[in-house]
Structure 1
Amino acid sequence: MVDVFAVDRFFGNPVAGISGAGGLETQDMQGIARWFNLSETTVLLPPTRSEADYRVRIIHAPERDSLRLPSYAWHCHAWLAAGGKPKSDDEIVQECGAGLVKIRRGSGRLSFAPPLIRSGAPTENELADARRLLRIALEDALDAAWIDNGPDGWTNADAERQTGHQRSNQMMFPIPIWRCCFPRPILIKSG
């Protein structure tokens, strides 16, 4: 078991990791997850795609409704610690529900760019909805793009006004009403 998403002990997300579980059925994995009763249980498995070095399944007990924010680097660290041997010295490929995630290894660190479910420009209607929801004037929305990597949420950076008044950048996290109004995040940023 490890504590992820925190620098200090006991302030992060407790996660159980299981290696060598290739013979377990899904219901067995769910039973183990229920028994651990943690935020999530991850299972390291042989890959099903030839490009991947290993595969990860994130298992939640059936009665848990957990926001899935996978720690690709933690899974990679656990796989390496369990004796995993990557095909490449500087890049490790993890297969997971998001697809193939390339993880770089160097200077004692693991780094990655999360796969995006959706990217590119929003439609005019989507942008109008986002501006209305975030109370941003048309002139303050200098640019917008989808930055969707899974969890619902919003990121917003307002443009500085010519009058010298500057709004602070805001990071907004999901609440149910937002999901009803607009299901996925849009980034509105300054130029």
Structure 2
Amino acid sequence: MPILYHSPNSRSSAVVTLLDELGAADVEIREVTIPRQDGSGSPDAANPHPEKKVPYLIDDDETVRERGAIMLYLTDMYPQAGLGPLPGQPGRGAYLSWLSWYQGVMEPVMVMQFAGLSHPALGATFRDPATMIARLSEALARGPWLLGEAYSAADLLCSSPFLWFPESAPDDPAIRDWIERCAARPAVKRTAERDAKVAA
């Protein structure tokens, strides 16, 4: 049985939402503690992640870390849900690109912006907030979702920081409407409720 290691109200919450969207009831969710940015929490000896972080997925002999990789693994594992194009299907390249873009561009840019860091080398490597916003806006001008007409795990992943930090949402109508559509997904609401109960 696959096992997802999760800590409530953390980056792994998006993967819990994906499991709900996929109908992946056979994946066990195990809650662990993690160190938090506010100084609370601590590494959990029960967490097999090599850095004691979440999310972490174990599927028999396979181990998967990093949200984009885990989401790709799961959407390939549960193709019937239609939340990510499979190899050979139209949109596969765009799907892989968005998952990787989130990890390699979007999250670093947002963290640097939050930390007040700015340097030409950082902008050249990871882009800048204006470029990040432009990429999202261009994609959403072609359809309601990042891949066009179909909601995918790429939308779930890329919208997640704006759901956590609404004040970080750019003043762009297409992006704000997309964030609202993502936030309205029943699975997103169920994860928030689940995390609140566990945290309490």
Same fold (TM > 0.5): no
**As a proportion of its length, which structure holds more strand?**
1
Ranked by relative contact order (alpha carbons within 8 Å, sequence separation 6 or more), the top structure is 2
Superposition TM-score, scaled by structure 2 size = 0.22
**As a proportion of its length, which structure holds more helix?**
2
Superposition TM-score, scaled by structure 1 size = 0.23
Larger Rg: 1
